[in-house]
Structure 1
Amino acid sequence: MRLWYQSFVDEENGATYWKYLRAHLAQIADPGTEIEVHGITPYDSYAHPIVEMRCAREVICNAVRAERAGYDAFIIGHFQDAGLYECRSVVDIPVVSLGEATMLHACTLGQRSGIVTINRRFIPWFRHQIGKYGLGERVTSVHAMQFEPGQVLAAFGSEERLEAVRALFEEQARPLVDQGVEVLIPGGGIPMLLFSQLIEHRVGEAPVINGIPITVKAAETAVKLKRQNGLSVSRVAEYVKAPDEIIEEFMSHPKGL
């Protein structure tokens, strides 16, 4: 099984992050599963919807490239899931995303979940995601630390900086737990990977979940089910597949236009 893991960080600007990510993916993958990490240049270095939109276009093109190159599934390793629905409407391989898979799995661990993201500017985006997934009664709260994505990257390889980010996360998470939130979700692949170094990470009795292995296992399961009985996305409404000529037009159009 070959999986394309689409990061929103490029290797040049996130070399240490990529090193940790590749090691983590190799550790959690099933025997026989090959996961290749791909980035976006310029990477998602600033928390803003316009950056998400710019990255989404490249993600959609990369999903098509992944399918044509023979990958079995496409993973959007970015919590904001930019381009997710569009990817599913242009390829037949499974498309699994970090934000959606993590939030859905959190519903199996507790009745109320809360997200702690790295930057306040992501809060409206997450609220839109929660509504889009129909999880307004399950993912009930969103709090934020105050980092740009590139600043959190600097915490990899430093126990002191890891502890500083953990303390800031707990500062925002503690009020959520006090209000009855049962499951805590770090709002991003970067903090999830950073906190994967912490064993049985909890705030009070609330688990802090790492969505990366959840998403990888969801992708592996989707591939196995497709191989077993052909199960794939509905083409009735949201994921109606675009005609081939429309996909080609999208792929050939200059970036940014």
Structure 2
Amino acid sequence: MADLEPVWSMLETEIPPLLAPGSTVEFRYARQSANFTRSLYAEHLNSVAMMDEAIAAGSDGFDGVYFGCWNDPLWEAREVLDIPVASVGEQSMLAALAMGQRFAVITVSEKTAAAIARDITLYGLRERAITRPARSIAPESDSALLLGAVRDPWQSFIPRFDEAARQCIADGADVILVGCAWYGPLLRRAGYTCVSGTRVPVADSTTVALKYLEAMIGVARSTSAIKSYAAPFSTPDRAKIQRARAALGMPRNIAET
């Protein structure tokens, strides 16, 4: 979406300087998108396009793949690829376990909160999160709020986020994750790293998860441990995957898209 160009530019400016020396990141965007994520069905459609980009990155020789959206096909990508695969969601939540006892995720809409809560359970992290672990700001985010936050997140976004964060703290949270890959770097850039008047950290999930992927790549290089090759992540037969794609009218090889 061309009107969100300021957001892309912000990410591509803010993220690379925080990587370890020698690490580089290439930002890739799905060539097709439903341009809508606040729906389980739309999320499923977007996941197909995201998988295409992940598979292409593996074929292009990248050391690791990172999904910069909380709505992601993480486990599907881990099954198909033989390089480390990280997501803004799982990796930032795992990092939160080392920061505190109970975390919460604050995101941009009730639909997104429901999807994140589902993932928390799927990843087996429910016991380390608060009751109702994923919550939305109110009113929900829209493109006007996002673009306004690129200019000044303190004007509208941070007050909404801070209010939701205080409710999470009252319910036992001692770590708050930013449940949107776009807003995390914006809050960090603005200096909003703790909930106002507290010492409860607000983690830029995007940067935290990318740093986690760097560690995953380091582990793979040092020990050759990438993933389990037992079910469910055993790499499927490539020819059968190609036939499955062809049966759905998709190009057999990602390079043909």
How would you bin the TM-score normalised by the shorter chain?
Answer: 0.7 to 0.9
1:95 shift after superposition: 0.4
Question: Secondary structure of 2:182's match?
Answer: helix
State the Cα distance separating 1:157 from its structure 2 match: 3.5
Aligned to 1:176: 168
Question: Offset of 1:205 from its aligned partner?
Answer: 2.1
1:100-152 CA-to-partner distances (Å, cap 9, x unmatched) read 00111111111011111110112221121111111111122222113345344
Residue 180 of structure 1 deviates from its aligned partner by: 2.0
User: Quick check: 1:114–1:183 contact (8 Å CA) kept in 2?
Assistant: yes
User: What is the aligned partner in structure 2 of residue 155 from structure 1?
Assistant: 148
Distance 2:144 2:154 in 1: 12
The equivalent residue for 1:245 is 239
1:47 corresponds to 2:38: yes
**TM-score for the superposition, normalised by structure 1:** 0.87
Q: Which amino acid in structure 2 is aligned with residue 62 of structure 1?
A: E
Look up the equivalent residue of 2:186 and give its one-letter code. Answer: L
Equivalent position of 1:144 in the other structure: 136
Higher strand share: 1
CA distance in 1, matches of 2:199, 2:207: 21
- 1:156 offset after TM fit, Å? 4.1
Partner Cα distance (1:73, 1:152) in 2 = 32
Whether 1:222 and 2:216 are equivalent positions in the alignment is yes
- Contact 1:117–1:143 under 8 Å retained in 2: yes
CA contact (8 A) 1:47 1:149 kept: no
Measured after TM superposition, the shift of residue 250 of structure 1 is 4.7
Distance in 2 between residues matched to 1:44 and 1:138, nearest whole Å: 32
Distance 1:99 1:237 in 2: 22
Deviation string 1:192-235 (CA, Å, 9 cap, x unpaired) is 12212232521122110011222112222222222222111001
User: What displacement does 1:86 show?
Assistant: 0.4
Q: How many residues align?
A: 243
TM-score w.r.t. length of structure 2? 0.87
Structure 2 residue 183 is the aligned partner of structure 1 residue 191: yes
Aligned residues with identical type, % of pairs: 22
* 1:157 counterpart SS class: helix
Q: Which runs of 5+ in 1 are unaligned?
A: 1-9
CA contact (8 A) 1:192 1:210 kept: yes
Give the secondary structure class of the aligned counterpart of 2:178. Answer: strand
In the superposition, relative to structure 1, how do residues 25 and 209 fare at CA in structure 2: closer, same or farther (>3 Å)?
same
Q: Is the aligned partner of 1:232 residue 2:222?
A: no
Whole-angstrom distance in 1 between the partners of 2:49 and 2:94: 25
Q: 5 Å matches for 1:25-40?
A: 25-40=15-30
Structure 2: any 5+ residue segments left out of the alignment? 251-257
- Checking the alignment, whether the CA contact within 8 Å between 1:101 and 1:215 is kept in structure 2 is yes
Match of 2:66 among 75, 81, 85: 75
Q: For residue 254 of structure 2, what is the aligned residue in structure 1?
A: none
Segments of 4+ in structure 1 off by > 6 A? none
1:45 to partner: Cα distance: 3.6
Matched, 1:92 2:82: yes
Structure 1: how far apart are the matches of 2:13 and 2:111? 30
